[in-house]
C-alpha cells in the first residue's frame, strides 16, 4: 500500500458515523438471553454505491444470500444486523431475511432491495421475526432524526456493540484524508472473536465513506484491500457461513468522482487500508480467550503471495500460538511453520526476531540457533502485542498477518457456546 498516502491519513473518532451523511443506532431487541444489545442499523441519507466480499464457505447463511441478491446492482442505503442468532440452516430463513429487509425499508422509506441484511450467532436455531418487528421501528426513528441526547439508541458505538457475540470489546475505526481540495472520511465497525480464518470468517465488517467513487473502482479497492487486511487474520482456522464485508460510498464529500486509477484512487485505497488494518488488528487481538495479539511480519520473500502465505502460516500454527501464550521463545516452531508453507522458496538463510514493547531479541540467524537472553525473551513475550519478524533474504516482497495466542479459555468458550 502507498506509504506516502498513508502518512497523509489521520485517525479520527466517529466509527461508521464519521463520514458525512451516515447515521447508526443499536439496541437490545430480544435475540440474546443476556439482554445485551443485539440489533444494529446503519443508514445513509442518500443512496450509496456499494461493494461487498463474502465467505468462501459453501454453506451460506440466508441473510448473506439475500444481501448478495440486493447488492447485484451495486446500490444500498441501509444495513440491518442482528447478533445472537445466525439465520443459517434455519427453517424459513430466506423468508425471515427478506421480511427483515421489507420491515427496515418500510420504516426508513426505502426500497427493500436497498437494504443489506446480516446476521451472526448460533447456527441452526429456529427463525425469529419478533425482535425485528420490535426493534426496527425504534432504530429507524433514531437514525432518521439524527440522534440527540435523549435518544439512547443512536450512535456508532451502540451499533458496533449490537453486532458483538463473544467479542469482549467493540471494534471501530475512522480516518480522514484529502482527495484534491476535499476532506474525505472512511469509518468502519467490525465483529469477530472466534471461527475466524478468512477468506472470510465469522466476521462482519461494515465500512462507510463519503467519497464519490464509481462502483467498479469501489469493488476493486475492496477486493485488493481485503487480501492485505481481513484475509490475513486467523483466530482458529475455522471459516464461518455468514462472513460479510460491506462498503458504502454516498459521495457527500463532493470530490470529483473517481472513475479511473490514479492519485485520487491511490489516496482512497491507502486510507481504506489504514482503517481495515486497524480493524483487523482489533479482531485478532480479541480472539476468543486470547491474551495476546500476534503479528507476523515477513520481509524479503520471493513474491507477495508467498510473503502473505508464510506470515499467515506462522500465526495459524497452534504450536506457535501456545508458545506465545506461555511466553516461551520456542523459535523452532516458527521455522517449522515457515517450512511447511506451500511454494518454492529458500529456507537456508532465515532470520527470526521477536519484538514487543518489552524489547527485542534475535532468536535465529541464517536458519541456525543463536545464543540469546532467555530472560529478555520472556520479557518480550510477556507483553500483550507480539511481533514475529521473519526475514527470508530471498526476494523483495513483504507481508503481515494477524492472529492471537491459544489459551485454555478458548476451549471453555467454545465448549459451552450454545449454553
Give the residue numbers annotated as catalytic, written as ranges: 202
**Gap between the Cα atoms of 50 and 105, Å rounded:** 17
Q: Give the length of the chain.
A: 419
Q: Residue 38 and residue 22: Cα distance in Å, rounded?
A: 20
- Kind and range of the H or E element at 120? strand 115-122
56: Cα within 13 Å, side-chain hemisphere: 8
Distance in angstroms (rounded) separating the CA atoms of residues 176 and 26: 24
Cβ contacts of 116 within 8 Å, gap of 6 or more:
50, 52, 67, 70, 71, 76, 78, 79, 80, 246
Helix (H, G, I), strand (E, B) or coil at 157: helix
- Which cell numbers hold the place of 191? 465483529
CA distances from 74 to 56, 310, 333 (A): 20, 34, 45
Q: 229: closest CA among 280, 171, 294?
A: 280
> Which of helix, strand or coil describes residue 277?
helix
Provide Rg for the chain, Cα atoms: 22
> DSSP strand E in 204-325: where?
204-209, 244-249, 293-301
Alpha-carbon torsion, ordered 240, 244, 245, 251, to 10 deg: 180
All cell numbers assigned to 70: 440486493
What values do phi and psi take at 129, rounded to 5? -110, -25
Listed in sequence order, the residues at least 6 apart from 48 whose beta carbon sits closer than 8 Å to its beta carbon are 75, 76, 77, 248, 249, 250, 251
Amino acid at each position: 500500500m502507498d506509504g506516502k498516502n498513508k502518512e497523509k491519513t489521520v485517525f479520527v473518532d466517529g466509527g461508521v458515523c464519521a463520514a458525512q451523511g451516515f447515521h447508526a443506532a443499536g439496541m437490545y431487541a430480544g435475540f440474546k438471553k443476556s439482554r445485551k444489545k443485539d440489533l444494529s442499523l446503519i443508514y445513509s441519507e442518500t443512496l450509496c454505491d456499494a461493494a461487498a466480499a463474502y465467505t468462501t464457505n459453501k454453506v451460506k447463511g440466508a441473510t448473506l444470500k439475500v444481501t448478495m441478491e440486493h447488492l447485484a446492482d451495486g446500490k444500498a442505503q441501509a444495513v440491518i444486523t442482528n447478533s445472537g442468532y445466525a439465520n443459517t440452516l434455519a427453517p424459513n430463513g430466506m423468508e425471515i431475511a427478506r421480511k427483515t429487509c421489507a420491515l427496515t425499508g418500510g420504516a426508513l422509506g426505502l426500497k427493500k432491495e436497498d437494504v443489506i441484511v446480516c446476521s451472526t450467532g448460533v447456527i441452526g436455531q429456529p427463525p425469529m421475526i419478533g425482535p425485528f418487528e420490535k426493534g426496527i421501528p425504534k432504530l429507524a426513528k433514531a437514525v432518521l432524526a439524527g440522534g440527540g441526547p435523549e435518544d439512547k439508541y443512536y450512535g456508532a458505538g451502540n451499533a458496533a456493540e449490537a453486532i458483538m457475540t463473544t467479542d469482549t470489546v467493540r471494534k471501530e475505526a475512522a480516518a480522514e484524508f484529502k482527495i484534491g481540495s476535499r476532506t474525505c472520511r472512511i469509518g468502519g465497525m467490525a465483529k469477530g472473536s472466534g471461527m475466524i480464518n478468512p477468506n472470510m470468517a465469522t466476521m462482519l465488517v461494515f465500512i462507510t465513506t463519503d467519497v464519490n467513487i464509481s462502483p467498479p473502482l469501489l469493488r476493486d479497492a475492496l477486493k485488493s484491500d481485503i487480501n492485505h487486511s481481513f484475509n490475513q487474520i486467523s483466530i482458529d482456522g475455522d471459516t464461518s457461513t455468514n462472513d460479510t464485508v460491506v462498503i458504502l460510498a454516498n459521495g457527500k464529500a463532493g470530490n470529483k468522482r473517481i472513475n479511473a486509477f490514479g492519485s485520487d484512487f491511490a489516496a482512497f485505497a491507502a486510507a481504506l487500508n489504514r482503517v481495515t488494518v486497524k480493524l483487523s488488528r482489533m479482531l485478532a487481538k480479541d480472539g476468543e480467550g486470547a491474551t495476546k495479539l500476534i503479528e507476523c511480519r515477513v520481509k524479503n520473500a520471493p513474491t507477495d503471495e508467498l510473503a502473505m502465505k508464510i506470515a499467515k502460516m506462522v500465526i495459524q500454527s497452534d504450536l506457535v500460538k501456545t508458545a506465545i501464550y506461555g511466553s516461551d521463545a520456542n523459535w523452532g516452531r516458527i521455522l517449522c511453520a515457515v517450512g511447511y508453507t506451500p511454494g518454492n522458496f529458500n529456507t537456508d538463510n532465515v532470520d527470526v526476531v521477536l519484538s514487543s514493547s518489552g524489547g527485542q531479541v534475535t532468536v535465529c540467524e541464517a536458519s541456525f540457533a543463536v545464543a540469546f537472553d532467555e530472560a529478555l525473551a520472556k520479557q518480550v513475550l510477556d507483553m500483550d502485542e507480539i511481533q514475529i519478524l521473519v526475514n527470508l533474504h530471498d526476494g523483495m516482497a513483504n507481508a503481515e498477518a494477524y492472529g492471537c495466542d491459544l489459551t485454555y479459555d478458548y476451549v471453555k468458550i467454545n465448549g459451552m457456546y450454545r449454553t
